[in-house]
Amino acid sequence: MSERFAAGKVALITGSSRGIGRSLALSLAAKGASLVVNFKRSEELAAAVVAAAEEAGGRAIAVQADMEVPEEIDRLFDAAAAEFGRLDYYVGNAAASSFKLIPDLKLHHLDRSYAMNVRAFVLGAQRAVELMDRGGRIVTLSSYGSIRAYPTYANLGAAKAAVEAWVRYMAIEFAPLGINVNAVNGGIIESDSSAYFYDVEGMPSLDTVLPKVPKARMGTVKEVADTVEFLLEPRSEYITGQSLVVDGGLSIIAPPFFDDATGPLRLPEPGDGEDAGAASDA
């Protein structure tokens, strides 16, 4: 990969004042991209991302827009068009929902989750395509709640499943325009969002959850951002309509868990010795 593959490119990343969006924005800036940094509330955090991007050698603007509001989505893309005239990358990163059991979901919970996670991505993609005059890449952030069920995540998980379906349809329709569309499906990532989710009353502690993950740890925002970046690079040109999972192996396991096994069935622990788990020479 060229360290300057994004030189001359323009990227719009929603929710890029912190977390995965921020990590991706700064990495792209270091590789020569111009940025549209979107934020909902914290102008200070967004300004810090712009300053860091410019220090890294990129060009950036910050635009306040609530992705739940169609008029503000238009304002965001209008600002991108006015400043840069075009787009190469659109990354739908902003997300929000309510973590409740299904009987406790009210109408406004359903409506707002759809508006923020599904409708915003579709409206943003429509506007992005208009500005991608030389082809481009669209990537959205999903989560393993789109393919697995766990407590209080139905509202957001169903929305993410819908987004992944949109990715497949967009990939077909936009391919003749030279635009690839993909999703990155993250597992348990160490971020503000996961901290909020695991703070829900009654939620199992991460101390009981992480041992079930084959990699036995949370993922980092940089690991997810790096995967999104891969899907923006020239070397991923033949990948479209896919949901790339970044979860440390979480979604491929099922009970009975190796972690609950005993004796010879238990996987070796780190530090058990150089020959731990190795086949016998006999």
Q: Let me know if 89 is a catalytic residue.
A: no
Task: Give the angle subtended at the CA of 96 by the CAs of 141 and 180, to the nearest 5°.
Answer: 20
Q: How many angstroms separate the CA atoms of 124 and 175, rounded? A: 17
Tokens of 49: 């991302």
Locate the DSSP E strands across the chain.
10-13, 34-39, 59-64, 89-92, 136-143, 179-186, 243-246
The catalytic position among 150, 160, 169, 238 is 160
Active-site pick, 90, 150, 153, 198: 153
Where helices occur in 63-215 by DSSP H, the ranges are 70-84, 107-113, 120-131, 154-174, 192-197, 206-209
Residues 6+ apart with CB under 8 A from 87: 10, 11, 12, 80, 128, 131, 132, 136
Q: Say whether 100 is catalytic.
A: no
Q: Which residue type does 168 have?
A: R
Q: Say how many residues make up the chain.
A: 282
Query: Closest Cα partner for 52 from 35, 77, 76?
Result: 35
Annotated catalytic sites, by residue? 153, 160
